[in-house]
Amino acid sequence: MIKKLKHDSLAKTIMSDPVAAQEFLEYYLPTDFKSLIDLSQIKVEQESYIEESLKKKYSDIVYKVATKKHGNAFIYILIEAQSTVDYWTALRLWRYTLLLCERHKKEKTKLPLVYNLVIYNGKEVYNAPRNLWIYLQIQ
């Protein structure tokens, strides 16, 4: 009997292939960000930043790419395996981004460039906040 993959497992399996990842990112990354990096040398990192309690709802994948100025950048993809919008996704992404930067700050004076993408498979329009300012109570 073949084990049925969940949407997030299937997406992560496909996105773990460097050729598929490169094609996907060529299409979905903004031109401004693509102009800073070299996707031809994409490498899948073996790290994950999702807390154990959330691994049933989310999966993540991290790519390391070279920048055109001889540094490194990371592309962090969060895959949502749920059918409803999570209001706090942007905040969670910032936490994962900071954890990624924390792991890579040793011996360096600058943090790596990180770009976040969310793969959402719900039916309703994704209407959760996309930046942290929306969460803050500024009066």
Q: Parse the chain into domains and list their residue ranges.
A: 7-135
| pLDDT at residue 57, as a whole number | 67
Q: What is the pLDDT of residues 78-91, one digit of tens each?
A: 877 667 888 998 99
Separation CA 58–CA 43 (nearest Å):
21
CA distances from 138 to 2, 17, 102, 128, 131 (A): 52, 43, 28, 18, 14
DSSP state of 22: H
Percentages helix, strand, coil for the chain, rounded to the nearest 5? 35, 25, 40
Higher-confidence residue: 4 or 21?
21
In the numeric block, which tokens belong to residue 3? 């084990």
Q: Please give the model's pTM, rounded to 2 decimal places.
A: 0.78
| pLDDT at residue 35, as a whole number | 94
Separation CA 78–CA 87 (nearest Å):
14
Q: CB-based contacts of 120: which residues, under 8 Å, 6+ apart? A: 80, 85, 126
| pLDDT at residue 6, as a whole number | 54
| pLDDT at residue 5, as a whole number | 41
Strands across the sheet containing 113-120: 37-44, 58-67, 72-80, 113-120
| pLDDT at residue 139, as a whole number | 56
| pLDDT at residue 33, as a whole number | 93
3-state secondary structure of 62: strand
Mean pLDDT of 48-76: 82
Query: Is the pLDDT reported for residue 129 higher than 80?
Result: yes
| pLDDT at residue 41, as a whole number | 87
Q: What is the pLDDT of residues 104-120, one digit of tens each?
A: 887 677 888 899 888 87
- Amino acid in position 97: T
In the numeric block, which tokens belong to residue 44? 């899948």
